């Protein structure tokens, strides 16, 4: 593994147990609340634009509160955005890498100074509790700092063999104009990581944020301009993914698509991008990071307390709406009953309620559609296993669902196989460690996984045979740290691009070899 040039340290989390920090966060929430309902514009070719049709983003804790009013881009505007990004590419790619790096470090600095403000937007628009929002913003800062340093590596020629009588070198060039399509679940961190990696590498981009979290994206677009990124280096385009997605992906001037989201949308993008369009002179590159059905194995030789805590945090942190969330606990039959008893005792104590109230461990799920889909999986789960905790939606305006545990789930069950993306955990009994590994790998996905055991031979076996992009031993399966845990999964979890890792920028670069004969 290569060194990170210039040193890199993960951003420290604000400790909200400290009274001054708590007060500062309350002030940030009030300041952000005062901006509810404002309108945000598109940015295309350096111009701010409004459309006739608008849409609103809501507070999932109190859906009667409108967070932001946004423009509904049309397919024509989407096409214009790609043209605009394409036409600025020569200028932006010609900007010295050192200058682009400087802008990105300025963006990191601005984000750091406005951390609590961004935390507050995440609390209100994405329904993240304070610590979850803080982790999202800290990760966004980490991406900026990390990719800025990585770009310095790729800006220098790569070492190649020198032949006698020839001078040889290999340099990295950016690709062109790309489309950035992030999900709503890490509406800052993933958006920032995908966008800044492409930009710092010298590409221009069209950012198409999720319609659930467009205000957070608009705030970051504003911050990029403040940091000195030219207003033509990126376009900001809100609107329905279904309405403008195809135009963006199919456009002949689109050189790459960087997507993070669900399996079905990712596969569709991959398919559309593969078909060459009239006037297109390249094969489009697709980076697609998709879903997960992540398992934690609890072996009979595990430290049971830490296994219970690890499963709890991985399954119910941010209401189970992380691609890395544990949705399957595969537990040795030797301690299955005890595990279940200890887990459910803790689950029943978890407080669910509005994300801005810091006593709540869990906030709402993202929207009404998600709530209905999760509740229907719970109904299915009740037939496929035994409901031992949760299962219902508490009364109230927000999209709340109690943390739910369904035991005795077989591997062929729908809730064992399909990504639910909510606070629902299936618990399955394993005969022995080999059986546990077999069950864990019985999935079309392969994103994260964890194993709790004290036995070194079993750890070795898991290292070899647990087929996931991010494996954790004796710790939870969520919370990947930039630089330390390069992130991305196998199989239907995506292209394993390893966000926050030393190879990530290569997705946005192409290498050119130059050999000069000495005369
Ligand atoms: P989604 O697929 O519904 O949407 C993702 C993005 O695609 C959004 O911006 C959406 O507007 C856009 N989109 C929708 N239809 C489109 C189309 N036809 N063409 C182009 N764009 C379109 O996913 P989501 O609900 O926002 O996010 C949750 C999913 O993301 C889960 O499956 C989760 O596992 C996955 N995820 C994966 C990772 C990872 O690193 N592997 C990280 C976070 C989330």
- Is residue 319 scored above 60 in pLDDT? yes
Name every residue whose Cβ is closer than 8 Å to that of residue 457 and which is 6 or more positions away in sequence.
none
Q: Which helix (H) or strand (E) holds 224?
A: helix 214-226
Q: Determine contact, residues 299/452, Cβ cutoff 8 Å.
A: yes
Mean pLDDT value of segment 493-514: 98
- Is residue 44 scored above 70 in pLDDT? yes
Best probe residue, ligand 1, of 183, 205, 256, 420 (max atoms within 8 Å of C-beta):
183
Mean pLDDT value of segment 102-118: 98
Q: What's the rounded Cα separation, in Å, for the pair 26 and 485?
A: 32
Q: Atom 40 of ligand 1 has which residue's CA nearest to it?
A: 289
For 180-202, what is each residue's pLDDT tens digit? 999 999 999 999 999 999 999 99
Q: How many helices (H) and strands (E) does the chain have?
A: 15, 21
Q: What's the rounded Cα separation, in Å, for the pair 345 and 320?
A: 18
Q: Atom 6 of ligand 1 has which residue's CA nearest to it?
A: 183
Mean pLDDT value of segment 33-37: 98
Question: Which residues form the catalytic set?
Answer: 289, 323
Best probe residue, ligand 1, of 217, 265, 290, 447 (max atoms within 8 Å of C-beta):
265
- Is residue 3 scored above 60 in pLDDT? no
Bridge partners (DSSP) of residue 207 are 180, 236
Q: How confident is the model at residue 2 (pLDDT cuts 50, 70, 90)?
A: very low
For 71-91, what is each residue's pLDDT tens digit? 999 999 999 999 999 999 999
Pocket of ligand 1 (CB under 6 A): 181-186, 190, 210-211, 241-242, 245, 260-262, 265, 268-269, 289-292, 323, 419, 421, 447, 489, 493-494
Q: What is the pLDDT of residue 4?
A: 61
Q: How confident is the model at residue 1 (pLDDT cuts 50, 70, 90)?
A: very low
How far the first Cα of the chain sits from its last, in Å, is 38
Q: What is the pLDDT of residue 395?
A: 86
- Is residue 375 scored above 70 in pLDDT? yes
Among the listed residues 360, 425, 301, the one whose alpha carbon sits nearest the alpha carbon of residue 129: 360
Ligand 1 centroid–CA 210 distance in Å is: 8
Domains annotated for the chain, with CATH where assigned, are 19-290+496-516 (3.40.605.10), 294-481 (3.40.309.10)
Angle at 77 between CA 72 and CA 80, to 5 degrees: 155
Q: What's the rounded Cα separation, in Å, for the pair 383 and 133?
A: 35
Q: Rounded to the nearest 5°, which phi and psi values hold at 357?
A: -90, 115
Q: What is the pLDDT of residue 157?
A: 86
For 142-160, what is each residue's pLDDT tens digit? 999 999 999 999 999 888 9
For 271-290, what is each residue's pLDDT tens digit? 999 999 999 999 999 999 99
Q: How confident is the model at residue 5 (pLDDT cuts 50, 70, 90)?
A: low
Q: Determine contact, residues 304/338, Cβ cutoff 8 Å.
A: yes
- Is residue 263 scored above 50 in pLDDT? yes
Ligand 1 centroid–CA 494 distance in Å is: 12
Ligand 1 centroid–CA 192 distance in Å is: 15
């Amino acid at each position: 593994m290569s060194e990170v040039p210039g040193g890199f340290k993960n951003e420290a989390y604000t400790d909200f147990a400290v009274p001054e920090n708590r007060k500062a966060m309350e002030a940030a929430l009030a300041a952000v609340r005062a901006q509810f309902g404002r309108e945000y514009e598109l940015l295309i070719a350096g111009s701010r634009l409004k459309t006739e049709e608008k849409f609103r983003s809501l507070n999932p804790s109190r859906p009667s509160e409108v967070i932001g009013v946004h423009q509904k881009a049309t397919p024509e505007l989407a096409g214009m955005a790609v043209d605009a990004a394409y036409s600025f590419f020569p200028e932006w790619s010609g900007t010295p890498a050192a200058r682009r790096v400087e802008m990105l470090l300025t963006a990191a600095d601005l984000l750091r100074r406005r951390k609590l403000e961004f935390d507050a937007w995440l609390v209100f628009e994405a329904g993240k509790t304070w610590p979850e929002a803080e982790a999202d913003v800290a990760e966004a800062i980490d991406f900026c700092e990390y990719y800025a340093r990585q770009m310095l590596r790729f800006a220098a020629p790569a070492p190649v063999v020198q032949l006698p009588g020839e001078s040889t070198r290999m340099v990295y060039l950016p690709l062109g104009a790309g489309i950035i399509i992030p999900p709503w679940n890490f509406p800052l961190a993933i958006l920032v990581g995908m966008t800044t990696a492409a930009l710092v590498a010298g590409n221009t981009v069209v950012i198409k944020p999720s319609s659930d979290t467009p205000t957070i994206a608009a705030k970051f677009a504003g911050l990029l301009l403040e940091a000195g990124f030219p207003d033509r280096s990126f376009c900001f385009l809100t609107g329905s993914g279904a309405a403008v997605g195809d135009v963006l992906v199919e456009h002949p001037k689109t050189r790459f698509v960087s997507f993070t989201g669900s399996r079905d949308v990712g596969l569709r993008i991959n398919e559309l991008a593969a078909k060459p369009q009239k006037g297109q002179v390249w094969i489009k590159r697709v980076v697609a990071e998709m879903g997960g059905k992540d398992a934690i194995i609890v072996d009979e030789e595990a430290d049971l307390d830490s296994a219970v805590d690890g499963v709890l945090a991985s399954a119910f942190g941010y209401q189970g709406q992380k691609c890395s969330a544990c949705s399957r606990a595969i537990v040795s039959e030797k301690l299955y009953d005890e595990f279940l008893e200890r887990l459910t005792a803790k689950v029943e104590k978890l407080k669910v309620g509005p994300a801005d109230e810091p006593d709540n461990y869990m906030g709402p799920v993202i929207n009404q559609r998600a709530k209905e889909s999760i509740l229907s999986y719970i109904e299915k789960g009740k037939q496929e296993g035994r409901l031992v905790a949760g299962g219902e939606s508490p009364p109230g305006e927000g999209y709340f669902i109690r943390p739910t545990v369904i035991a005795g789930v077989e591997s062929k069950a729908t809730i064992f196989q399909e990504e639910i993306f909510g606070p629902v955990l299936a618990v399955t009994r394993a005969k022995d460690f080999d059986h546990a590994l077999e069950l864990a790998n019985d999935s079309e996905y392969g994103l994260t996984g964890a194993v709790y055991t004290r036995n070194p031979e079993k750890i070795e076996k898991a290292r070899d045979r647990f087929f996931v992009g991010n494996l954790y031993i004796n710790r939870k399966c969520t919370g990947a740290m930039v630089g330390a845990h390069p992130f991305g999964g196998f199989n239907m979890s995506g292209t394993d691009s390893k966000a926050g890792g030393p190879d990530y920028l290569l997705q946005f670069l192409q290498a050119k070899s130059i050999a000069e004969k000495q005369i």
